[in-house]
Amino acid sequence: MKKREVAVSGRTLKAEDSYGLSKLCFATAMGLAAAIAAVFTTMLPLSSGWRYFWLAVCVATFLLAITGVVLFFRRRGQKSRTMDVDSPGSR
């Protein structure tokens, strides 16, 4: 199967690299959302219902950020194992 390549400023990214980049961007966005929700939970003078809402948003986005990082490293580990098996010096 042919790998898809995307040109970025004179360099090319393989489809596997763009997958990893998308996971890292997702984890970064969820981490930022968790930080903003944490500020809303603690700093804004809101009623208890809104505070619990922002706390739930904070916990959910934090868990999504951790999930994105774990998926990135799991995929990266699988990629490095297949590269070790396919390398000609490993035989």
Domain containing residue 75: 31-80
% of the chain surpassing 90 pLDDT: 47
- Per-residue pLDDT for 78 more than 50? yes
- Where are the strands (E) in the chain, listed by range? 5-8, 11-14
Report yes or no on 85 lying in a domain: no
Does residue 84 surpass a pLDDT of 80? no
Whether 1 is in a domain gets the answer no
For residue 13, is it within any domain? no
Domain count, the chain: 1
> What average pLDDT does range 12-21 have in this prediction?
69
